[in-house]
Amino acid sequence: MKKLNLFDRLMYVINSVFAFILLFSYLIPEIKPSILSHLSLLSLFIPIIFIINILFIFYWIIKLKKQFILSLVVILLGYNYLISFINFSNNSEYVGGNNLSVMSYNVNVFNYNKFNNELEQKLSRDSILEYTSKLELDIIGFQEYSNKFPFELESHPYKFESLREGYLSFGQATFSRFPIYSSGTIKFENSNNGAIFTDIIINRDTIRIYNIHLQSFKFDKSLEVSEFNENSDKLLKDLNNTFQIQQTQAEVLKSHISSSPYRVVVSGDFNNTAFSYIYNLIKSDLKDSFVEKGNFLGQTYNYNSIPLRIDFILVDKLFKVNDFKIEKVDFTDHFPIVSKFNIN
């Protein structure tokens, strides 16, 4: 520190703070929101904290200062943790044979709240339908699907949906190219969110596909920073409450998944990041398709350029993931994700 000028000393203090926060964040997946809900809030900002540490590394390297070691060591210590957000996988290895392709996509009620007339809403629905049809996938799982503008996929004759009753019925829907042997709904108490499962028959084998949508955050996405400051107490209370509700929902799902008689694929909108207790609980010993074959930033939520990955496709540990993509199309506030894997 003696060779640093006053400005760089200040920069190193700031660097140390962000390095410590990142290091401390590695504990978050092990702590239940019901015990310390405020830590769950920190998990939403880890991508930004990580990027800040990367910038500090470059800052010190450019200045030829050894202080770059601090953030570098912290990042290396959390390598297995951080690849759930940024990853550079090797896509050269491909396992042929009995393969399955799955999409998960939150279609935001076909932008019902965005457009003021039915024509625009139908056009939004048609754009999503046309796009997903072109991808030629085996299984398509929608969250916030609505039957206000129902559609069928000729290439996917098998379908199961579970929708909330009311004027605007919405929920989960799974379309399949393969026969559905059985299906069911997992309801969450006092929530519009939920989950469904479909048992798909593929070449005499049965795979259980979960399509889930965990508790949503209740805040206005159009709020400016100043408005966030004015309503910070209420926002924090609502966020903490949401994390605790998600924990209860995740525990219900975990129990259901553990009792499955078949190998499973868990896909959907978790409304939480890979740095959370919620994700860690549901994932357990499953494989995260992005960690296996994803590349660069894992951003699935299209919100103010904040790189959040809250949509996931988790597969049985015996499956071999061949490919994973985040489709960067702006039909809704989520990007669709696609995983292709071998189920032999």
Q: Where are the beta strands (DSSP E) in 51-96?
A: 86-88
> Closest by alpha carbon to 315, among 335, 299, 339?
339
Beta bridge partners of 171: 145, 163
Phi, psi of 125 (to 5 degrees): -60, -45
Q: Measure the CA–CA gap between 19 and 71, rounded to whole angstroms.
A: 6
By CB atoms closer than 10 A (0-12, 13-18, 19+), residue 293 is buried
Residue 293 DSSP code: H
Burial 176-195 (b: 16+ CB within 10 A, else e): bbbebeebeebebeebebbb
- pLDDT by residue (tens digit) across 35-60? 988 888 888 889 899 999 999 999 99
- pLDDT by residue (tens digit) across 191-239? 889 999 999 999 889 999 999 999 998 655 555 555 555 667 777 888 8
CB neighbours (10 Å) of residue 255?
A: 10
Looking at residue 110, what is its pLDDT?
A: 83
Q: What percent of the chain has pLDDT over 70?
A: 90
Q: What is the average pLDDT across 336-341?
A: 96
> Closest by alpha carbon to 197, among 151, 266, 140?
266
Q: In the chain, what are the domain boundaries?
A: 6-82, 99-342
Q: Measure the CA–CA gap between 143 and 149, rounded to whole angstroms.
A: 14
Looking at residue 236, what is its pLDDT?
A: 83
> Closest by alpha carbon to 277, among 67, 86, 16, 36?
36
Looking from the CA of 127 toward its CB, the CA atoms found within 13 Å total 13
| CATH no. of 99-342 | 3.60.10.10
Q: Measure the CA–CA gap between 69 and 88, rounded to whole angstroms.
A: 22
Angle between helices 46-62 and 68-77 (to 10 degrees): 140
Rg (CA), the chain: 21
In order of 126, 154, 286, 319, the CA distances from 314 in angstroms are 28, 27, 6, 10
Give me 226's structure tokens: 């100043």
Looking at residue 95, what is its pLDDT?
A: 62
Q: What is the average pLDDT across 284-299?
A: 92
- pLDDT by residue (tens digit) across 269-290? 999 999 999 999 999 999 999 9
> How much of the chain is helix, strand and coil, in % rounded to 5?
35, 25, 35
- pLDDT by residue (tens digit) across 79-128? 888 888 888 876 656 666 689 999 999 998 887 766 666 777 778 888 88
165's CB contacts (< 8 A; 6+ apart) are: none
Run of H or E including 20: helix 6-25
277 CA to centre of own chain: 13
